[in-house]
Structure 1
């Protein structure tokens, strides 16, 4: 049966497969916290769940429509795969890597499919910004993203098959970001970068000279959920990865803890005229950082190279000690698990 993408506003009127979103009716294929996916389809990404469902031909795939309530790489790949199941399964490895790179930013160039996946993700990123708006860039986002994302889906669903088959034809669209990622990847995997891991709190500390593209920065973070980036001139960012906003299936995780109390600890040590700030645990990617003013979400979602990162008077060793002791104390006695609920997470103070 040929299927059709419909806007999320129409799923009340039409039976649809729901991808990378929550909805009380129909077949839901999503890694969002609280989603109930069919048995045997588990995956870290929504696109991976879709691909597993297609491979197993689970019941419920025969409805004529598919929808999602927002546009991102993972959700797009999932929707496109529902509409093009044979091609999707033929290209499963590349599509899986696209979803991982797009959602978790965990690029691993040692994997055979990763290079092509990176080119395709960079193509989407570039065309999305040039022809539409960047992620989290829609005005009045919470209200309008459902509607504003529809033209993106229509454009990319029509164009993606050709790009997947012949990415070299579209090199002008992906090569600038792609080359930047490769350059930064060498830095993060080179002698100028020092990696220190703290498995008991799920944190990886990355000390590197300058801010880099997220796909390079997070290429050293597989298996971890917090990243403490330390750059020269006492510039820092601490962030929770998207792996703790969704339900990943590959491993248990610790719950997110509020970052604002830690921001206050650092503020008490700060002597510059700037302020340590952090978003709530329900933000898709809360960042603890030194600010002059609150950054809009589209800027926080953008790469570290695309936003100002200010110098602190706090020395790197002192900042690391404060961060590590904060989480060690609050995670004491807390065991990692899967399927944390938002009420459970919000209960941590």
Structure 2
């Protein structure tokens, strides 16, 4: 089974394994909501599904010789690379799973096998992507769309990834700066400076920590939760619906993703700082609710919290936690967690929530 990379625009004419994407002309291995993935192959990440298919020697894989994705990110890269390098992928299966989890969900678990090695690889990808190409979600500012603009990224990383996987220390100068920043902030998030309050019934975790940190550190304490209220010094806050509710999670049931815009309107009725609360819609990959300043681009919103301004509110931390919790308690009243919400169900849930 010898696979090669197929640029996504060519998928109309050439069938392929479609990783982390949708298309009828091939075998879809994607955690995108509603993707027609065989139950036996379901995992939380798309790369995990590819690794599972390779491990099981899934019969349908033999029908194809090309692999593709309609966008570049770490999960898609690992999945496509694994199909092109099945023997190496099998030898490094758990490491690659951690690369996909850290890259896609930003959940760094240093107690997981190979977590530090995985973080090194993720940081290398981030460094090279930023220096050689446009940043994640930066295609919004290009003339080309992501489907076309991502092709050179795949061509570079599919060739370069193998050497870095096998010899990461030779690329230390590239991955070390971000790696050290994450490890330092990880210590902050797991030390006495940070307080965590978990509200499992709401899928909410409240993190109180002095300053905004790298996502891999911030979300290292959020596994199993889908909504994060980050509380920083000087009454600065951000509420985020994690990417885990944009996709189909196989490992656990979830609550439907709430629309945070009604909460923003309610907070505006309480806010006296002169700034206004605003939130992204529920179909955004990672909706943020925050006090507005200069409007952020998609790339800036996707970037790490310490890279964007977070403004002080007139609301105290206790008020903020109370208002966010009360909002979620109301919208989730009589709603039970389950697996595999459809977007239609999420829309209906949010329509019903506005009527409560």
Which residues in structure 2 correspond to 1:192-271 (within 5 Å)? 192-271=193-272
SS of the residue corresponding to residue 237 of structure 1 reads strand
- Which residue is equivalent to 1:21? 21
- Which residue is equivalent to 2:354? none
Which residues in structure 2 correspond to 1:58-207 (within 5 Å)? 58-62=58-62, 63-140=64-141, 144-207=145-208
1:69-102 Cα distance to aligned partner (Å, 9 max, x none): 0000000000000110110010001100000000
Quick one: distance in 2 between partners of 1:112 and 1:343? Answer: 37
- Which residue is equivalent to 1:294? 295
Cα deviation, residue 40, structure 1 = 1.1
Quick one: distance in 2 between partners of 1:160 and 1:337? Answer: 36
1:7 equivalent in alignment to 2:7: yes
- Which residue is equivalent to 2:41? 41
1:217-245 Cα distance to aligned partner (Å, 9 max, x none): 00000110000000000000000000000
1:283-342 Cα distance to aligned partner (Å, 9 max, x none): 000000001232111001000011000001111101110000000011011000011010
Cα deviation, residue 140, structure 1 = 4.9
Cα deviation, residue 142, structure 1 = 10
SS of the residue corresponding to residue 289 of structure 1 reads strand
- Which residue is equivalent to 2:30? 30
Quick one: distance in 1 between partners of 2:163 and 2:120? Answer: 13
SS of the residue corresponding to residue 229 of structure 2 reads strand
Pair 151,56 (structure 1): closer, same or farther in 2 beyond 3 Å: same
Q: Which range is displaced more, 219-228 or 38-47?
A: 38-47
Cα deviation, residue 56, structure 1 = 0.6
Quick one: distance in 1 between partners of 2:197 and 2:98? Answer: 25
Quick one: distance in 2 between partners of 1:292 and 1:4? Answer: 45
For the 8 Å contact 2:237–2:310, the answer to whether it is kept is yes
Pair 299,220 (structure 1): closer, same or farther in 2 beyond 3 Å: same
Pair 150,119 (structure 1): closer, same or farther in 2 beyond 3 Å: same
Cα deviation, residue 15, structure 1 = 1.3
TM-score normalised by the chain length of structure 2: 0.96
Quick one: distance in 2 between partners of 1:39 and 1:277? Answer: 38
Q: Which range is displaced more, 141-150 or 2-11?
A: 141-150
SS of the residue corresponding to residue 40 of structure 1 reads helix
Quick one: distance in 2 between partners of 1:111 and 1:18? Answer: 28
Cα deviation, residue 143, structure 1 = 6.2
TM-score normalised by the chain length of structure 1: 0.98
Alignment coverage as a number of residue pairs? 349
CA RMSD of aligned residues (A): 1.1
Quick one: distance in 2 between partners of 1:104 and 1:232? Answer: 25
1:128-163 Cα distance to aligned partner (Å, 9 max, x none): 000001000114579610000000000000000000
SS of the residue corresponding to residue 60 of structure 1 reads helix
Cα deviation, residue 36, structure 1 = 1.2
- Which residue is equivalent to 2:304? 303
For the 8 Å contact 2:11–2:25, the answer to whether it is kept is no
Quick one: distance in 2 between partners of 1:26 and 1:110? Answer: 37
Q: Unaligned stretches of 5+ in structure 1?
A: none
Cα deviation, residue 25, structure 1 = 2.6
SS of the residue corresponding to residue 160 of structure 1 reads helix
Cα deviation, residue 3, structure 1 = 1.5
Quick one: distance in 1 between partners of 2:225 and 2:295? Answer: 26
SS of the residue corresponding to residue 332 of structure 1 reads coil
